[in-house]
Structure formats: structure tokens, C-alpha cells
Structure 1
Amino acid sequence: MAGPDDTKVEEHAKIDRKSAWKQLWRLFKYTGPYAGRLSIALGALLFTVSVGLAVPWFFGDLLATAVDASMADAAKLNESTLVLVSLFAFQGVFVFIRHYLMSWVGERVVADLRMEIHAHLLRMTQRYFHANRTGELLSRQSDDATRLQSIIGQDLSLALRNILSLIGGIGFLFYVSPGLTGRVLLVVPPLVIIANLWGRIIRRLARQAQDQLAKASGRLQEGLSAVDTVQSFTREEFEGARYGEAIDKAFKLFVKQIRARSWFMSVSSFLAFCAVAGIFWLGGHMVLDGTMDKDDLFRFVLYTLQVAGSVGGLAGVIGSFNQGLGSAARLFEILDSEPEIADSPGAQALSQPKGRLSFDGVTFGYDDRDTEVIKDLDLVIEPGEVCALVGSSGSGKTTLSRLVLRMWDPQAGAVRYDGQDLRELTLSSLRGSIAEVSQDPVLFSGSIRENIRYGRLDASDAELESAARDANAHDFILEFPEGYDTIVGERGVKLSGGQRQRVAIARAILRDPTVLILDEATSALDSESEHMVQAALERLQQGRTTLVIAHRLSTIRDADRIVVLDHGQVVEQGKHPELMAKGGAYAKLVARQASLEPGGDGDGEGESQAEAD
């Protein structure tokens, strides 16, 4: 019984002929900026085809002269041979021009397409990446794009050459012997029918194979990105077997595709060369009957071989085209996916932001959940205020920060920045005034300098080092032999947790945001690292609207206001002493956390005493 993934593959595999031609035309539109190079390449192609069509005519003379001793003419033989060699020399030059320029255009188009897909993916929303695994998207951008290079760089050239050779060859055949040519062309309708039927099969199999390969790539990326977890659970063999199973499924689909292409080329070549055998038989009888000259027979046979070769070449190109169209469909599927979060028409840039945030009747729920995470929530955070969000897991703390960054839009109500609905602001100006420091900050695999400068690309080295000092990162950076040029590794694996955190804080300081979001920024650190990071965060918060999301309540007791969330609603808010005095939800959270800490007695005094110390 087919699973949901198999059904999805079948649905994706249904590419009708009209859609295939549409995708092919869309793909070749990318050659527009390079029309000059393409025109020169096509001119060279026309010349090489013309030479190729002239060759059988001269060979016909040569063969007739060589076979019939009574007509032997050494001067004519030498002259014809010299003409052929000259033609071949010119043809070689133009073959180089055609191949080089067509291949250049193919590589350039693929590079443009990859950059466009990458830029498009960077604009896609969180929902899109929740629904599509990163490994599958990477497979499309790399493997599928590579397959398209052969269509534009090689297959287009081969297809045009074979089509022109086919048309020209048939024209010469009609010129030499119209009656014999009519009989030869009887093989064309069966070839057209076969090409149409097999083309649909190859396109479907190509799409299925690429989809399965993308799934395998997704599993590979998932396993490698969590290799520490795989190894700690000793699941190396399990992951290897899981990836092997996915690759084996892809291999079997590719074999089906290869089998279909092989049958197509085999049958079409058989029919084409059967026509050649028929020519020998029919033409030979016509020479014996005196209705055809010997040199015309040689020319006819050579042109028939050329036409048969063109038909066989087209069979291979059509198979490659069909395979490439499956890849094109997958790439265009990405480009046709519109981001749900984008600048609305007439969106205005945020000018001179003050940092006032307000949630007006906000309701929000994720697509994959039946319940609403935020329910009719009203909250105002004033400019420069440090507002801490606390609550049990799933209460909506992080979701609010995602809404502020407009990674999602609420289903009801509005999130406002300085009184303006976020949907009326440009994304670049909104997010440009916000910086975030999370529990597990992402660092890129370059140097420490590059990671800090990510906050503001035009910052000078002096500004960068000043930000590092404010983040308590300058001293430990200088301890490295390479200093600021130290490579941090993928996701910053060569740095400790506290060092990564301080580099991320330096990046946020360099950005100089109006609004700061701190999402569990110290919860995973040891006491010494937490002290260093906390001191850096306090400097970073000065004069900025700060949204603090924290599980460790000891880190937010000095916040201007603490907001307690429960099931997406505000149940309490105020300063730490006020909320403790109330003995409500916040006091219970403090008491529960204190009871779980060493020396805690469960009544909340442990927390207060620890903080007093």
C-alpha cells in the first residue's frame, strides 16, 4: 500500500506535454542576457551543419570515381580530397566556437538560476522551512541545477544540429531521388509515436528519482548536522542503514529511468538503420534497372546514414531533455512558492524608531497545531523598558518574539511598532532595528571578525573591537594565536558556549538595535560564563527596549516589568517584589524553581536568599 510520500511523488510526477514545453521555454528565457554569445554559437552551428551536409555530396563523387576504374581521374580525386580536408579544418574551428560558447552559456544560466533560488529561499517564511527539509532543498539547488546545465550547454546544441542535419539531409534526399525518399520517410511516424510515449515515461521516472534522491539528501543532512547525538546514542549503523535504504530506492528509480531511455534509443536506432538496409536493397535494384546513377546511389546512401544518425542523436537528446525537464519542474516549484511574509504594497520604512511595542488583541496558532498559542493578548512595552516574559513551557514566550520579528503574522489582532502595524512596515527596516541573542546563537564557519561584523557589514575594525570589549569578548579573543581572525568552525563548534554567546552579543552591540530580544541567553552557561555574559547583556540593554525570555527567573528579577504568560494570555505583570508579594502565578513559578535547585526548600525563600547573596 502506497504511503503519503509515494502519493506525493506520483502527484509531482504528472507533467503533461503542455507543461513540459512551458517549462522548457521558461528555462531558455534565462539565456536572454547572453543572446550575443548564443547567436555566435548558433552561427557556428549553422556553418558546421552546412559542412556536414556538403560532405556526402563530395564523398559520393569520390566513391564513384574510386569504384569505377574506367572513370579514374587522379586530378579530380586529389581536388575533391583537398576540398574535403579544407572543409573539415574550417568545421573544426567552428565546432570549438560552438561548443565553448554553448557550454559557457549553460554554466552561466545554471549559476544564475542557483543564485536566484538561493535568494528566493532566503525570503521564504518559517512555515515553508517547517514543511520542507533543508537537505531536500539543497539537493534541488545542486543536483537538479547541474542536470539543467547539460540541457542548455550541450543538449540544445545537439538538438539543433541534429534537427538541421535531419531537415537538410531529407532535402538532399528529395533532390537526389524523390521516389526513394518517400519510402524512407515511412519510418518517421512510428518514431514520432515512440518518442511521444517514451518521453512521458522518462519524465515521470526522472521526477520520481530526483524526488527520492532529495529525500535521501535530507536524511544525510539531518544525520550529519546532529552527528553528536547520533554518536552518543550509538546510532551510526541505524543512520547508515536509513540513508542506504533511501539511496537504494533512488537507485532503483534511476535504473528504471535508464532502462526506459535505453529501450527508447534502441528501438528508434533499430528502425532508423532498418531504413538504411532498405535503401541498399531498393537503391541497388534501381541501379540495376538503370533508373538511378551509381554516384547518386552513393550520395543517397550517405545522406540516409546522416539522417539516420540525426534521428538516433535526437532520440538520445529527447531522453536527456525529458530527464532535465523533471529537474526543471522541481526548481521552478521552489521559485513559484510565494513567501507568506513580504512587504505589502505601500509598505513604509521605519524612520527614527523609538522602540514602543504593542500587542493589540493578538491571536496566533501554528498550522500544525489545533490549539492557539496566543489568545487575544494585549500588552504594551514602552521605549527603553526591560520587559521579561516568563511562564511554563508552551505558554507563548518565544512565539511573541517571533511575532515581533514578523517571522509570522497573527491570525487576529495586530503587533505594532511605534504605533504602526508591522504589516505596514518594510521587513528590512523593521528587522534592521532589532537584534536577537538566543540560547544557542548561530555562528558561521568563518572567523570571529566576520561573525561580529555580520551585525553591521560596513563597521570598521575599531568599532568591531569596541563591540567585542563591551561584550566581554576582547580578552579571550586575543588569547587565540590568530586573534580576531580565528576560524570558529561550523556553528562555532571551536568556541565554548560562553565564548559563542559573547561573540553573539558583540554582533548585537555592533548592530546598535533599538529593540533587543534575549531568548534564554544565559540558561545553558556555567556560573562563571553566566556572570561574564550577564554583565555584557546589562551593557547591551542600556537605552534599548528589551524583551527578555527566561526560564531561570534569577536572571530577570531586576527587569522593569515581568509579564507572566499562561496558555497564551497575560495572567500577571509587575516588578519582582510586587509579584512575589501577591503570591500568585509568578510566586509559584519561583517557588517551584527554587525547590528544584540545590538547597531549595520549595517555599520560594531559597530563590530570594540565593539572589540576596
Structure 2
Amino acid sequence: MIRFLYRHLQGHRLLVLVAALLSFVAVASDVLSAFPFKIILDKIVNHRDPAIPFTGWLLSYFDHFGARGGLTTGEVHTDLSVLLFGGLMFLVLGLIGAVVAFVQLSIAAVVGQDLGARLRKRLFAHVEDLSLDWHVRQQVGEVVQRISGNVTDIEKLVADGLVDLLSGILTLAGILIVMLMINWQFTVLSMCIAPALFLTVLLYTRWVKRNAKEAARAAGQIARVANAAITAIVELKAFTLERWAARIFGGHVAQQRRFGLRAGRRQAEFNPLVILLITVNNVVIITLGGWIAAGHSYTLGFLTIPAASLTVGTLTVFLTYSKLLYRPMRDLSKLTVLASTAAAAAGRIQEIFDQPTEEPSRPERYTGPARVHGAIAYHDVVFGYEPNRPVLHGVDLEIRVGSSFALVGLSGSGKTTLTRLLPRFYQPWQGTVTVDGVDVREYPLGILRNNIAIVPEDAVLFEGTFRDNIALDHSDATDDQVMDAARQAHIHDTIARLPGGYHAEIREQGKNLSRGQRQRIAIARAILRDAPILILDEPTTNLDVEAEAEVLRALERLTQGRTVIVISHRLSTLGHVDEIAVLQAGRIAERGTYRQLQARDGPFARMLADQESYAPGPMSLPSSDGTGPVQFLRDET
């Protein structure tokens, strides 16, 4: 935990050091605050002048306000001067404590907030840089919990507990040092409970820390289940699964509650034990200290305390310190939970930081152009998601510049996997993937992916305006460029009719738009990107006839002059593709044009026949001018 904080407090270490040094001042003022009692009581009861270095001049000044009658032999200062001196000492120590507390809490607030903001930014950026392989293995709610909840736990420790933790330790050490200096024999006697206190703190710290870790893990499960349920709220309602989801969620809540109660129970046990031990300590101080102050000696084994070696003032200081022992012990018990929770959170965050990011780009080795032509080749590619379970088996494939290439096959045959290797979402186990004859691993990631546009099966939209969702990484695009891309995607008229037009807000994941509208916005996004390579992953799946017609018209514009890879289950829409490859179990079963594959009576012809057996008849979609059929990716036979 300390190493974690030191690493991430870069730039604020000096402030933390200042706060730590001020803790010595604050503790010194707290420890010395008991001495005015000793000074006043020793003067009034035992007629002893205070012996504090460098303060004689101040006491002499206060002597002007008091009468010297009644002073015994050896007394120099008046009672009033000692009372005024003691009161001034109280005031000065209190002011020092107040100023130091203000500065420390201000520093703690600044450092805590800055640390929280820095951790969230670094963690989010690191999560974005992790490979797609890592992301698909994670639970979204768990990752979100680490970015939000776990960072908050560390922020609380720094803002609320770091100064208090150090002050508590220093207070205990300071009290012990001063007591030893006053009377070491009586200190040893009055500290007989120290071993029991130490053992209590040690045991309860371990128990609370263990349960705090389990509670933090359970909190991550709660976030995961809640995220999954809210994301799938339509399905939950459609299948009346509300109670089922609530039962699962309630199970994780109960688990977190169970661990939280265990930690709370240990906390509840800890405080009374400390109070009981402190009470026993007070009994020892009052009874034995009073006996010694009354003029009796006391012997316990090797330890002998001479008679009258304690004054009433000294006894009062010991009692005050005994009470002061309770406060740091109580604070340390509370901070134990805070520190344990933060330590568990730091461990969970560090697990993400320890994950390697995507293979870093190597711009120093790349001297080629920023924009590629678009020639794609796969050479003996082998790849899988699980060890020893390959999905692709020695795939060899070449796609010419500016051509359209379709990948077809049954679900799980490796079509999408093949396209994911192109932008280096994954690395092949064997073989190479090249663009313009250059291995994609030699391209900087930014250059490689800027040359590829993807229109997925279900377009993902972000909260924000229509303009923001079309522009995305082209934030410098003009309004005319954004609107031109929308016109080409046949979505401009829809946007223009909305209140606010392009500045109208899109709800989370585009819930206020139809699937076809979301798909056309994704196409407008790809048009504005103007990448030479285009991947269409089932862009018309689950669309109705009207929406499919609009999307096909938009795709007709988008594919012009680009190298296009199409993944489609609707074989009848592939009539104008230059070449088709049929994948079976991760291997290319056959390749050719639509008519060639249709005539071979191979896997493609059989899949086509199966689809046509359920079709009532040929479907003709009107073109953009309403006079003829669409001429993009459609069979004219």
C-alpha cells in the first residue's frame, strides 16, 4: 500500500512530507497540553515553582500581578503568575494545534482529490490501452467498480485518514517518551496493559482487513450484476425475469452485508476492549499513584518506586495521558478499517495496472506513408481465443486494392475473427497479416487503425449530440463536412427534422433511435473517416425492409473506391461482390465469384439453396431515385 501511494503521489510528495512534519508539531502540542495541569497543581498543592527552560523572564513579568505574601521558603514566583503562565500555555498550545490542523486538513483534501482524479484518469487510460482479449474476459461492472469505487476508497484514506494515522502513532510514542522522562519506574508500572493493547490491535487489524477485502470483492460483484441487469432491462421485462434478477442481486448484496457485518462486529468488539484496558490502567494510576504521592513506597519485583516521588501534578499528568491513550487507540481502530479497505482497493487497481497494454507501436521503425492503398493478405494464419483451441487453421487469402470481398459461412466459422486480426485487435499465433505488403505489426497502431473503418452489426452510439457521434475523432470537421457525410448516409433529413438538428442529444446507446437510424449514423461516421479499408460486419442484419433499403443505399456510397470486406449471412445480397470466400471450421472451403460458387454445387450453393427455400420470392429494393433496383451487393439473377 505504501509503495502504491508513493508511486502515484508523484508531484505531491513534498506536500505529504509537510503534512507529516506538521504532525510532529500537532502531537507535541497535544502531549504538552497536560503540563499546565502539573504546573498549576504543583504550585498550589506542593508550592513548587515550574522549572521550564527559557520561561523565567515571562514568569517574572507575571509576578507584577500577584501578591508575594504566603510564599514559602524557596518559592520565587507568585501563585497568580504561575496561574497566568499556565493559562497562556493552554492558549498557545491550543492555537498551535488549531493552525496545524487547518493546514494538515487542507493539504489532505488537496492531495486526496488530486490523487483520486489522477488514479481515475490513469486507470481509465490504461483500461482503454489493454487488449481486446483482456476486455472480453472481464465483467464490465467489476472494471467500473475498480475505476470508481476502489479509487474512492484510496481517496478517503488519503483525505481522511493519512494524517490521523500518523498523528495517532506519534501521539502514542510521544506520550510514552514524556512519561518515561517524568518517572520511568511509574511509567513501567502504568504501562502494564501495553502488551494487551498491542495484541488486541494486531489481531483485530488482521480480522478487519480480511473481511474488508471480501466486502470489496462482493461490492464488485454487485456492480457487475447491476450493470448486466440494467443493460438487459428490455429482456428482463419481456421474460418477466425481474424477481429472478432481484434474487441474484440480493444474493450478492447479502454476501457483502455478511462480510461488512463481520468487519463491523470486530470493530464493535475492539472499542469496548480498549475502553476496558484503559480503565484498568486508570485504576492502577489512581490507587498506586495516590499511595506513592501520600508518602509510601511501592515495590513490585525488581521495580521499586520511592515514597513521595510523585506529586499531585505528576499524577494528574499520568491520568491525562491515560485518557489520551484512548483517543489514538480509538482512531487507529477506525482507521484500521479505512486502511484495510484502501489496501484491498489498491491491490485490485494494481492488478489492472500490471496487465500489459497492447503491443506498443513502433513509429521509429515505420517510414511508410500515413495512408495505405488497401491491399490485404493473410499468410498461413493460425489463431484462437483459448490455448490449444485454434479458430483459424492456416488461412491464406489475398484481397486486391479497391475490390470488394465477402466472407460467408456458418456461425463460428471464423469470419469475424479473421477481420479482427486486420486492425490488430488480436495477434495471430502463426503466420502474418499484411497491408500493402507490410506486416500489420510494423505499423503504429494509430496509423493502422486510422486506415480502417468498421461498420458493425449493431452500431454503438455515445451520449452526446448527433454531430459529436458522426465526427468522433474528427472533432475538427466542419459542419458542412458532417452534414455532407450524413446526406451520403441518408440520415440528414431525419436529423434535420429533430428539435435542435445536429445539436440534438442522443440518449445512452442511441435508445431514442431505431436500429436502421443508428446504422446509418455509423455509416456517416465511416464516410467522414474516409479510410481506404472498410469492414462491413453484418451491416443489414435484423433490419426491416425499409431500413435495409436505406442502409444499402448508404453503403453504396461508402464502398466506392475502397477495399471492402463484407461479412454477411444474407447470401442473396452478394451478387456484385468481386470475390467470395466460404469459411468452414476456420478454413477456406472455396473461393470465387457469386456465379462461380453458385454453379459449383459446393458449400456456398447449398447455403444459398437453404436460404432460398424459405424465401417467398425475389425482393427488389428501389434505388435512391425510386426508378430501379439498388446496384450494391445484390444479386440480379
Asked if the contact 1:359/1:378 (under 8 Å) is kept, the reply is yes
Find the counterpart in structure 2 of residue 34 from structure 1.
12
1: CA distance between counterparts of 2:281 and 2:150? Answer: 37
Q: 1:50 aligns with which of 12, 28, 47?
A: 28
2: CA distance between counterparts of 1:265 and 1:591? Answer: 78
Asked if the contact 2:212/2:337 (under 8 Å) is kept, the reply is no
Deviations 1:14-41 (A, max 9, x none): xxxxxxxxx3322233222113433443
1: CA distance between counterparts of 2:167 and 2:547? Answer: 68
Find the counterpart in structure 1 of residue 124 from structure 2.
118
TM-score scaled by length of structure 2:
0.86
2: CA distance between counterparts of 1:74 and 1:282? Answer: 31
- Between 31-40 and 532-541, report the one with greater CA deviation: 31-40
2: CA distance between counterparts of 1:142 and 1:576? Answer: 52
Deviations 1:135-155 (A, max 9, x none): 111112222211111221221
Deviations 1:294-318 (A, max 9, x none): 2222222223332343333333323
More helix by share: 1
Find the counterpart in structure 2 of residue 413 from structure 1.
431
1:393 paired with 2:411, answer yes
Find the counterpart in structure 2 of residue 447 from structure 1.
465
Find the counterpart in structure 2 of residue 513 from structure 1.
531
Shift of 1:163: 1.8
- Between 242-251 and 425-434, report the one with greater CA deviation: 425-434
Shift of 1:429: 1.7
Q: How do 1:290-305 residues align onto structure 2 when only pairs under 5 Å count?
A: 290-305=308-323
1: CA distance between counterparts of 2:321 and 2:267? Answer: 26
- Between 210-219 and 476-485, report the one with greater CA deviation: 210-219
Asked if the contact 2:274/2:326 (under 8 Å) is kept, the reply is no
Q: 1:196 aligns with which of 202, 216, 220?
A: 202
Find the counterpart in structure 2 of residue 363 from structure 1.
382
Q: How do 1:196-595 residues align onto structure 2 when only pairs under 5 Å count?
A: 196-289=202-295, 290-339=308-357, 341-343=359-361, 348=366, 351=369, 352-367=371-386, 371-595=389-613
1: CA distance between counterparts of 2:37 and 2:93? Answer: 12
What code does the residue aligned with 1:200 have?
Answer: R
Shift of 1:279: 1.5
SS at match of 1:200: helix
Aligned residue pairs, count: 583
What code does the residue aligned with 1:365 have?
Answer: G
Structure 2: stretches of 5+ with no match in the other structure: 48-69, 72-77, 296-307, 620-633
Asked if the contact 1:273/1:308 (under 8 Å) is kept, the reply is no
SS at match of 1:257: helix
1: CA distance between counterparts of 2:426 and 2:395? Answer: 16
Deviations 1:215-265 (A, max 9, x none): 121111001001001000011111111101111111101111122233334
- Between 185-194 and 505-514, report the one with greater CA deviation: 185-194
Asked if the contact 2:27/2:170 (under 8 Å) is kept, the reply is yes
1: CA distance between counterparts of 2:358 and 2:445? Answer: 12
SS at match of 1:523: coil
1: CA distance between counterparts of 2:279 and 2:4? Answer: 35
Deviations 1:58-89 (A, max 9, x none): 13224456778988934432442233224323
Shift of 1:356: 1.4
Greater gyration radius = 2
What code does the residue aligned with 1:477 have?
Answer: I
2: CA distance between counterparts of 1:415 and 1:612? Answer: 34
Asked if the contact 2:285/2:315 (under 8 Å) is kept, the reply is no
Shift of 1:518: 0.4
Asked if the contact 2:289/2:315 (under 8 Å) is kept, the reply is yes
The ranges of structure 1 where at least 4 consecutive aligned residues each deviate by more than 6 angstroms after the TM superposition are: 66-72
- Fraction of identical pairs, as percent: 31
2: CA distance between counterparts of 1:97 and 1:460? Answer: 49
Shift of 1:465: 1.7
1:24 paired with 2:33, answer no
Asked if the contact 1:403/1:410 (under 8 Å) is kept, the reply is yes
Deviations 1:167-187 (A, max 9, x none): 221121112111111223333
Asked if the contact 1:362/1:414 (under 8 Å) is kept, the reply is yes
Shift of 1:342: 4.4
Find the counterpart in structure 1 of residue 87 from structure 2.
81
Asked if the contact 2:460/2:510 (under 8 Å) is kept, the reply is yes
Structure 1: stretches of 5+ with no match in the other structure: 1-22, 602-609
Shift of 1:129: 2.3
